[in-house]
Amino acid sequence: MAGTFFKRAKGDSSFKRLLINLILIVACAAALYPVLRVITVSLRPSGSVFSMDLSLIPPDATLASYQSILFDPKVGFWTWIGNSLMVSVITAMVALILAAPAAYAFSRFKFAGKQPGLIFLLVTQFFPATMLLLPLYMMLIQLSLINNFWGLILCYMSIALPFSIWILRGYFDTIPNDLEEAAYIDGTTPLGAFFRVILPLSTPALSITALFSFMTAWSEFIIARVVLQKQALFTWPLGTVTLQGAYYTNWGPFSAAAVLISIPVVVLFLLTSKFLVSGLTLGAVKG
Amino acid sequence: MNIAATAIPKEVKQSQRYRDPRPFSVRFREHMRRNRLAYLLLIPAFVVICATVIYPFIYAFNLATTDTNMYNINSPTKQPQFVGLGNFGEIFSNPEFYTVLGRTILWTVVNVICHVAFGLWLAVLLNRNLKMRGLYRTLLVLPWAIPQLIVAMMWKNEFNTQYGSINLILQSIGLPAIPWLTDPFWAFIAVCITNIWLGIPFMMVIILGGLQSISPEYYEAAQIDGATAWQQFRNITIPFLKPVLTPAIILGTVWTFNNLNIIYLITKGGPNNGTQILVTYVYRAAFDFYRYGYAAAFSVVIFLILLIFCLFYIRATRGAQEV
């Protein structure tokens, strides 16, 4: 009670509070409206996809689009999800396993080439997509890794690995050195200290980093479109785009697929965005 | 970085400051002994980065000096020819390059200004004791959480001239329908709207984090001194946000400059190349028109533009802080 009184006494009149709430509600509506429209379109029966109706729940709402996405064997929704899951999980795991030790080295040691290395990791963020994609594409042709998940994972590594090292180094920097020194006194080797002291302490940061790599790979379209050309190998972004026919846009099933794919990602993201942001700024400010 | 520096015993620091009289082999051996673990930990990541980043990076420069294209890349009769700086000459002598560069700068400036302005505004509003604060925050972050492909497709649907809800709403209040995706000017506005919508949450969340780290005591002291709300914002909020805003603006600028997804998925750079920015232009040159050497040279140009921008920006903000 005293708390709210104090806050209000600090300057927000009730009119101002009303105004602030009003602005925020309008902003939320603007953020939410396009999303709600996708749900609306996904609920329309296939005949009235091109409807001029503006109501959020169409009067003739039906789950037919979802049904065709989920159960029609011609659509291949589950294949796409399976392909995407495989690529994204492997990308996230490999990036984490490679990045964690490297980030630890960047955080704790003063080896030759540390400073240039850090700057290089940052500079990779400036590469336009085609800068690496084009040479990687040529390499994949030479290695006959086009239309191969490992080829795609290799491409994703070029994005996920530098970023993961950067984020994890920022986190390791916040763990005081005393912890390892205490472990050394107890007779642990430096490697043992890394595995048994630092890694267990970093579980939240490690899972956020893995999740970030996972989500990057999960939603990626531009690279996948170049590397995977066979329908059977399509990840969901490639697959959902094929749902749109050449002459008309098949919005019903597309929207249903969009909703189904977005829900788990959005939930994961909302749960973790706070940590991701602190990791981002931590790494960036210290650099 | 400071932690890493303190981890090094004093005598080593001195050995770097003053010239170490011992022979190189001894110093090298000591360095290796001290850092052996670091190198071991780095090797796996280094190998993969070499294969997926460093080698392609160098290869891109190499490719940029050839006329490699779809017809000579795997052809038994034709070989890609070395053309020196010919690709760069072609890029800079093409007037379209300057149009597209100008549009890219406009696109980046409009987007980043709107992201920061709206992000700052919403963050300041959210940074107080509101009943529904958590709900507001969650809903406002939503555009960032949705996969970009879906965002692009969703807005493309909304911009449909006949059935899109934006035109339906405009018509219902008596305004004429706008040819969003068929007119170059309106198409550019449409992709800007989409990307602004998409990018506000990132800035808002970063700024909100920065605002929460400012101690309320500063504001209390300023109020006692009779500072107006604007003076408080100008002299407390903005300076304290600077360390958070600088990297966020650099990242935001680079991401916007290089944002291929939104424009490629909504307009493919059309109609009539009216929404083409540098990255979409080069992506189409590479993967829709198969001009690999030219596209590699173009990528190098884009990369250098960004690098120069960032160096200037960092220097400018450093200079401003010193003053």
Residue A2: its pLDDT value, please?
A: 36
Share of chain B above pLDDT 70, in %: 92
| CB distance A180 to A237 below 8 Å | no
Per residue in B171-216, pLDDT (tens digit) is 888 888 888 888 999 999 999 999 999 999 989 988 988 888 888 8
Residues in A closer than 8 angstroms to B154, CB to CB, are 34-35, 37-38, 258
Residue A243 tokens read as 């749902």
| Complex confidence, ipTM | 0.82
Q: Is B98 exposed, middle or buried (0-12, 13-18, 19+ CB in 10 A)?
A: exposed
Taking Cα atoms as reference points, which of B245, B241, B283, B247 lies closest to residue B264? B283
Interchain pair B147, A240: CB under 8 A: no
- Quick check: A226 pLDDT over 70? yes
Per residue in B100-159, pLDDT (tens digit) is 999 999 999 999 999 999 999 999 999 888 888 888 988 999 998 899 999 998 898 888
Helices H / strands E in chain A, number of each: 14, 0
* A73/chain B closest Cα distance in angstroms: 23
Residue B323: its pLDDT value, please?
A: 40
Interchain pair A173, B4: CB under 8 A: yes
The chain-wide mean pLDDT, for chain A, equals 83
- Quick check: B308 pLDDT over 70? yes
* B74/chain A closest Cα distance in angstroms: 9
| Structural domains of chain B sorted by starting position, each given as residue range(s) with its CATH number in brackets | 90-322 (1.10.3720.10)
| Structural domains of chain A sorted by starting position, each given as residue range(s) with its CATH number in brackets | 13-62 (no CATH), 74-286 (1.10.3720.10)
Interchain pair B303, A127: CB under 8 A: yes
pLDDT higher at A49 or A196: A196
Residue A248: its pLDDT value, please?
A: 55
Interchain pair B243, A161: CB under 8 A: no
* B139/chain A closest Cα distance in angstroms: 6
Residue B129 tokens read as 């004791």
Nearest residue on chain B to A258, alpha-carbon basis: B150
Phi-psi region of B174 (alpha: psi -120 to 50; beta: other; left: phi over 0): left
Q: What CA–CA distance (Å, rounded) separates B120 from B206?
A: 9
DSSP state of B235: I
Calculate the alpha carbon distances from B30 to A106, A258, A280, B33 in Å: 19, 58, 35, 5
Residues in A closer than 8 angstroms to B260, CB to CB, are 128-129, 222
